Structure 1
Amino acid sequence: MKFWQNLSWMETDQQIECARFAEELGFEGVMHGDHFCFPDVIRSRYPMSPDGVPPMPTDWDYPDMWVTMAAQAAVTTKLRFASAIYTMATRHPIVTAKATGTLALLSGNRAVIGVAPGWMKEEFDAAGVPFEKRGARLDEAIEVTRKLWRGGAVEHHGEFYDFDPVRLEPMPGYEVPIFIGGSGDVAWKRAARLGDGWVGGGDAPEEAPALVATLKRLREEAGRGHLPFEIILPFTRPVTVDELKRLHEQGVDGTVAYPFMMTIGPRSTIDEKKRVMEAFAREFIKPFA
């Protein structure tokens, strides 16, 4: 079982030390949330809460995740870095490929690009990108980004992106892992068709076996059941070590420690965060070592 620490919404000036300490404790990686901007007025329904109201206010920290990951990569050697979740459809894939390809090279291929279509129409409006067909736009953006990562001259002529041959140097020469997020049939089918893994948005442990089985079936139907695939599930309630061991046997590859915002509040010292991470490592990481 792989354990990730969610570093979303925390104080930006503590990000680097938290990543260094996560590696020391044996975490597999750290995850970062993404909004390239946060409108002051949000009317869009947030899909992960019962009342549709987003849990985060507009003034919580969202540093650029690729810059943050690169800084964290410089002080670590094994720790992985994942976006959870990058709203890829709000950016042009050339921009995405440039940033993430550079990160892959600088980190020694420790980056994971977690993507989903996005839920906040206001963010798309600010980017000048239509909110409609965002799922299809994401699918094409994934295709284009992967072509660019391979290097050399790349051209693309599709429904949403159209450009003559361009070069982004340097590129890693391989496809950076892409994990799919979201929920429901459409998202699961996208993961089966296009993903190297799945990052859940928060599931009950009791729901995990059915989700694993669904993803396995869909991947086999897509002809991709033989390819490597990671399933990382944050859970909506605390779990025990025994529960995690059973879920690991059933196909869950990893889980995520809650953001500090949800455990010790909106502002805390680096020492307070370290104590929370140490307690998690004692309870969960050590039994799996």
Structure 2
Amino acid sequence: MRFTYAEAMTDPSYYLPLAQAAEAAGYASVNVADSLVYPRESDSRYPYTADGDREFLEDKEFIETFTLIAAMGAVTSKIRFTPFVLKLPVRPPVLVAKQASSIARLTGDRLALGVGLSPWREDFEVMGVPWERRGKRMDECIEVVRGLTAGGYFEYHGEFFDFPAVKMSPTPARPIPILVGGHSDRALRRAARLGDGWMHGGGDGEELDALLARLAALRAEEGTADRPFELHVISMDAYSPDGVKRLEDKGVTDVIVGFRVPYIKGPDTEPLAKKVEKLERFAETVIAKVNG
């Protein structure tokens, strides 16, 4: 089992020392949150809070995702970085491919690209991208990023993107895993058809079991069941060795753990030293016992 450390919406000066501490403690990866803008008015609902409230996001500092990964990559040597998740269809996929390839080259292929749809219509509006047919645009974005980061000439002719044979340099020594986030049936099918893995957004155990079962069925339908596939999961089971074993038995490859509730309004007041203490304690009581 691999363990991913998740921390977001905190003091930006904490991220580099936290990445170093997580690497030293034995975590396999660090999740990196993605956010572009905060609209003053919005009818959108946040999908992962019980009441859809989004106000906890106001005035939270989000360093641009690839910039933060590059900075953390420069002060570490082994740990992997995973956007959780990059709002892909609001971005130009050719630029994303260039950014991802550059990060992979600079960090020694320590990038797994978590991607998803933004729940905010406003993200599409401010980026000049239509909200309509965003799922199809997402599919094409994944195909473009995968094609351009594979090396060699690549051309694409789709509904939204159309370009002749081009190539980028550098490209990664190994393919960048593309991990698709989302709980909707369309998101699960997208992960099964186009992804190298799936990223879970949280929820209770019964919901997780249902999502894993549906994903397995969709992979069988899509003919991808035999392809290597990462399952990144948030679960209370991840906080004990016995629980981790239960997740392993379900096919989970990566568990995402954090040590504070992120959906709190106002600034994060927890000191850096306390965060490091918590991640190290978990490493001693769970990671060492599971992987020791």
Cross-structure match for 2:103: 103
**Residue 286 of structure 1 aligns to which amino acid in structure 2?**
A
What is the distance in 1 between the residues matched to 2:207 and 2:75?
Answer: 37
> CA, structure 1 residues 4+116, in 2 after alignment: closer, same or farther (shift >3 Å)?
same
Please give the secondary structure, in 1, of the residue aligned with 2:56.
Answer: coil
2:48/2:201 contact within 8 Å kept: yes
Cross-structure match for 1:60: 60
Q: TM-score, normalised by structure 2?
A: 0.92
After TM superposition, the structure 1 = structure 2 runs for residues 132-281 of structure 1, keeping only pairs within 5 Å, are 132-172=132-172, 174-235=174-235, 239-258=239-258, 260=260, 262=262, 266-281=268-283
Percent identity, aligned pairs only, is 36
- Give per-residue Cα distances to partners, 1:221-264, cap 9 Å, x unaligned: 21111111111111368853322211211211221112645499
What is the distance in 1 between the residues matched to 2:140 and 2:173?
Answer: 20
What is the distance in 2 between the residues matched to 1:46 and 1:196?
Answer: 26
What is the distance in 2 between the residues matched to 1:205 and 1:245?
Answer: 14
When structure 1 is superposed on structure 2, of 152-161 and 78-87 the one drifting more is 152-161
Please give the secondary structure, in 2, of the residue aligned with 1:56.
Answer: helix
What is the distance in 1 between the residues matched to 2:182 and 2:233?
Answer: 12
1:114/1:180 contact within 8 Å kept: yes
Q: Can you give the 5+ residue segments of structure 2 that lack an aligned partner in the other structure?
A: none
1:90/1:124 contact within 8 Å kept: yes
- Give per-residue Cα distances to partners, 1:2-61, cap 9 Å, x unaligned: 111112212111111100100111111100111122323332122222322126322111
When structure 1 is superposed on structure 2, of 98-107 and 258-267 the one drifting more is 258-267
What is the distance in 2 between the residues matched to 1:12 and 1:261?
Answer: 18
Tell me how far 1:208 sits from its aligned partner: 3.2
Cross-structure match for 2:35: 35
> CA, structure 1 residues 207+45, in 2 after alignment: closer, same or farther (shift >3 Å)?
closer
What is the distance in 1 between the residues matched to 2:172 and 2:164?
Answer: 21
- Give per-residue Cα distances to partners, 1:154-184, cap 9 Å, x unaligned: 3322111123343332222653100011112
Cross-structure match for 1:72: 72
**Residue 249 of structure 2 aligns to which amino acid in structure 1?**
E
Query: What is the RMSD computed on CA atoms of the aligned residues?
Result: 2.1
What is the distance in 2 between the residues matched to 1:173 and 1:37?
Answer: 34
Tell me how far 1:270 sits from its aligned partner: 1.6
Q: Can you give the 5+ residue segments of structure 1 that lack an aligned partner in the other structure?
A: none
1:82/1:112 contact within 8 Å kept: yes
- Give per-residue Cα distances to partners, 1:129-165, cap 9 Å, x unaligned: 0111111100000001111112333332211112334
**Residue 97 of structure 2 aligns to which amino acid in structure 1?**
A
1:7/1:31 contact within 8 Å kept: yes
**Residue 164 of structure 2 aligns to which amino acid in structure 1?**
D
**Residue 48 of structure 1 aligns to which amino acid in structure 2?**
Y
- Give per-residue Cα distances to partners, 1:193-244, cap 9 Å, x unaligned: 0111111000223433333232222112211111111111113688533222
Tell me how far 1:272 sits from its aligned partner: 1.4
1:40/1:58 contact within 8 Å kept: no
Please give the secondary structure, in 2, of the residue aligned with 1:19.
Answer: helix
**Residue 126 of structure 1 aligns to which amino acid in structure 2?**
V
What is the distance in 2 between the residues matched to 1:209 and 1:43?
Answer: 31
Q: TM-score, normalised by structure 1?
A: 0.92
1:10/1:261 contact within 8 Å kept: no
> CA, structure 1 residues 184+236, in 2 after alignment: closer, same or farther (shift >3 Å)?
farther
What is the distance in 2 between the residues matched to 1:56 and 1:169?
Answer: 40
Tell me how far 1:100 sits from its aligned partner: 0.5
What is the distance in 1 between the residues matched to 2:173 and 2:282?
Answer: 37
When structure 1 is superposed on structure 2, of 244-253 and 186-195 the one drifting more is 244-253
Aligned residues: 289
Out of 280, 283, 286, the position equivalent to 2:285 is 283
> CA, structure 1 residues 238+220, in 2 after alignment: closer, same or farther (shift >3 Å)?
closer
What is the distance in 1 between the residues matched to 2:168 and 2:240?
Answer: 46
